[in-house]
Amino acid sequence: MSRTHCGDRVDTSDEPLVENHWHEYWDRLEEHVFFRVEAEDYVARLAATLGPDLGARVLDFGCGFGFVAELLARKVPALFVFDTSDHMRRQAQLRLAGYANVRILLPPAVASWPEELRLDLVLVNSVVQYMMRDEFHGWLGRWQAMLAPGGRLALLIGTSQRDQAHQICSDLAWSAPLPIPLSTSRILLLGTNLSCSKSVTSGQNNAYH
Ligand SMILES: C[S@@+](CC[C@H](N)C(=O)[O-])C[C@H]1O[C@@H](n2cnc3c(N)ncnc32)[C@H](O)[C@@H]1O
């Protein structure tokens, strides 16, 4: 999704935000053809960075209109998508309606997520900068807890958020920050769960279809 059309915001400050007005923005944003182009570019870069096998269970967190998810749905056995905006979730649901391997997750306050869900990859692409700091920190803990052994967390975030990710998800093995073309303020950060404790769902690849 276009950082220009979606109102790019990179948190370079260490001060907490006081109020989050972005929800109203996402709830009325209209689709633009450029979002698809950006999604293709992002997914191509992901494949180049992570390799062709993204894993059996992938979560696209903050999925927006679902352009990235639509590309991923053709590649992964089970894809979970979530967006905090009702409008965005509805748009993503329409786009992904033909894919039986996709499940739309509702906000945890509305419907709790499967407790036993363990993911091979959690993608958070250009979402964190729209969160309040506490919310970001809370999600970091949840993303880490949802990773299967060997699972990866791919954060496209502002450079200033790297230390927070390292600190809160200190159990993950973090890659060096990968640069994003034409951006000096954003990086792609990969955290891998090196724990070898057995996933509750291992061997049940299609449990959530
Ligand atoms: C710039 S768009 C990115 C969409 C998608 N990840 C992509 O790469 O095309 C940001 C999305 O993050 C969602 N978002 C913002 N805050 C969120 C939050 N706290 N939890 C989940 N999604 C959120 C917005 O509703 C919006 O759809």
Ligand 1, atom nearest to 3 Cα: 1
Among 51-65, 101-115, 143-157, 180-194, the least confident range: 180-194
Instruction: Give Cβ neighbours of residue 33 (< 8 Å, ≥ 6 apart).
Output: none
Name residues contacting ligand 1 (CB within 6 A). 1, 6, 22, 26, 39, 42, 62-64, 67-68, 83-85, 88, 125-127, 130-131, 135
Is the CATH number 1.10.1060.10 carried by domain 36-193?
no
Q: Which of 130, 136, 155, 161 to mutate to test the pocket of ligand 1 (most atoms within 8 A of CB)?
A: 130
Whole-number pLDDT of residue 92: 97
Closest C-alpha to 126, from 79, 75, 193, 60: 60
Q: For residue 152, is pLDDT > 60?
A: yes
Radius of gyration of the chain, Cα coordinates, nearest whole angstrom: 16
State how far the Cα of 72 lies from the Cα of 30, in Å rounded to an integer. Answer: 22
Give yes or no for residue 119 having a pLDDT over 60.
yes
- Nearest residue (by CA) to ligand 1, atom 4, is 64
Average pLDDT, the chain: 86
Higher pLDDT, 115 or 71: 71
**Cα–Cα distance measured from residue 178 to residue 16, given in angstroms and rounded to the nearest whole number:** 25
SS3 23: helix
Residue 3 has pLDDT above 70, yes or no: no
Measured from the CA of 38, which atom of ligand 1 is nearest? 9
Share of the chain above pLDDT 90, in %: 69
